[in-house]
Amino acid sequence: MNTEQTLSNNRMLTRLSIVAVAMFGFGFALVPFYDHICRALGVNSMVEKSELPANTQVDLTRTVTIELDANAHGMPWRFQPMVRHLEVHPGELVHVEYEVANVRDSAMTGQAVVSYGPALAGRFVRKLDCFCFTQQTLAAGEKRIMPVTFVLDADLPADINTFTLSYTFFEVAGKT
């Protein structure tokens, strides 16, 4: 290897070393830069929030009574709400549970259908989770707790202070 070749290799090694150090420095500088951008945009903050924002969608000035009802249309099932009525504020997240038991000596499948009284109230109930979304198969003697999670829309007409949420189970023919 001649001196010219060695000199060229040394320059190349020096340049690569400078690039490597610069890349390391750039990566190191990104951490505080990223933190400043996140703080400015209010996202992914590494600083604890001292106060959670209030849910302004809940109308605390108004209370609505919801009466819960359950029926098993001609089915040998015991079906009932865990509570018969509750008081909620429009906009509030509501979680209720129903208990169902198959008292027959064989498995049976049912589908729940919801109804509202007055019917107009149904337009203002936003169900997030409900056993009525799918068919339910219960083994002989099986008992189950089934949840319903919903939000009562804050736009519910002011003249509706009480309404009934009723579920009726119907047998699904051909399913066991």
pLDDT tens by residue, 66-98: 999 999 998 999 999 999 999 999 999 999 999
Alpha helices in the chain (DSSP H): 3-41
What is the mean pLDDT of the segment spanning 25-48? 70
Q: How confident is the model at residue 114 (pLDDT cuts 50, 70, 90)?
A: very high
Average pLDDT of the chain to the nearest whole number:
86
Q: What is the CATH number of the domain that holds 110?
A: 2.60.370.10
Judge contact between 98 and 165, C-beta under 8 A: no
Task: Give the C-alpha separation, 93 to 151, whole Å.
Answer: 5
Q: And the tokens for 81?
A: 């709400």
Same domain assignment for residues 164 and 118: yes
Same domain assignment for residues 145 and 72: yes
| Ranges 6-20, 60-74, 110-124: which has the least confidence | 6-20
Which residues touch 4 (CB under 8 Å, ≥6 apart)? Answer: none
Residues in the chain: 176
Phi, psi of 69 (to 5 degrees): -135, 150
User: CA nearest 112: which of 155, 152, 69?
Assistant: 69
* Residue 54, pLDDT score: 55
CA 34 from chain centre, in angstroms, equals 30
Same domain assignment for residues 76 and 144: yes
Residues above pLDDT 70, as percent of the chain: 89
Domain range enclosing 88: 64-171
Same domain assignment for residues 163 and 78: yes
Question: For the whole model, what pTM was predicted?
Answer: 0.66
